[in-house]
């Protein structure tokens, strides 16, 4: 199900949601250690940290989705958000790109990497090294 061509914002959302469940699960484990206050306290704090970090991730999603580019998906016609140079549609996982140079090329997340971008945009500097 989790393919390489999935929307980044969607993936981060899934990650944040799983953090909530991990946090609840860790706190739930703590209930079995009621006889040992130390272990119970540690699991409660750990679980709480997971839940807190998840809300932090949700906040981060809100920040980056304001920076993401809104486009209309040519395949399903719905509005989707693109992060980076290449990203997949949020609704149908169609690979999309903002860079005309990458059009028609096979979807690859390597186009989002810093090293690839600098190599692509500044070939002169790369040769001098």
> Which residues contact Zn ion (rule: CB under 5 A)?
73, 75-76, 89, 91-92, 94
Residue closer to Zn ion by CB (options 26, 88) is: 88
Residue closer to Zn ion by CB (options 57, 89) is: 89
Residue 12 structure tokens: 């981060």
Residue closer to Zn ion by CB (options 69, 76) is: 76
Residue with tokens 């040519």: 74
Side-chain-side CA neighbours of residue 23 (13 Å): 16
Looking at the chain, list the stretches that DSSP marks H as alpha helix, in order from N- to C-terminal side. 8-31, 37-67, 114-121, 123-128
Cα–Cα distance, 124 to 122 (Å, whole number): 5
Instruction: Please state the closest distance from residue 77 (CB atom) to Zn ion, in A.
Output: 7
Instruction: Please state the closest distance from residue 80 (CB atom) to Zn ion, in A.
Output: 6
Instruction: Please state the closest distance from residue 91 (CB atom) to Zn ion, in A.
Output: 5
Residue closer to Zn ion by CB (options 31, 76) is: 76
Residue 26 structure tokens: 């860790």
């Amino acid at each position: 199900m989790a393919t390489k061509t999935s929307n980044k914002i969607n993936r981060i959302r899934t990650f944040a949601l799983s953090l909530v469940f991990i946090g609840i699960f860790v706190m739930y484990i703590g209930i079995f250690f009621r006889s040992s206050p130390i272990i119970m306290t540690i699991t409660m704090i750990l679980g709480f940290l997971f839940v807190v970090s998840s809300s932090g991730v949700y906040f981060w999603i809100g920040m980056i989705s304001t920076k993401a580019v809104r486009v209309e998906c040519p395949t399903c016609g719905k509005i989707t958000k693109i992060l980076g140079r290449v990203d997949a549609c949020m609704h149908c996982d169609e690979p999309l790109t903002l860079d005309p140079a990458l059009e028609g090329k096979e979807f690859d997340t390597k186009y989002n990497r810093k090293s690839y971008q600098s190599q692509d945009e500044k070939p002169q500097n790369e040769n001098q090294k």
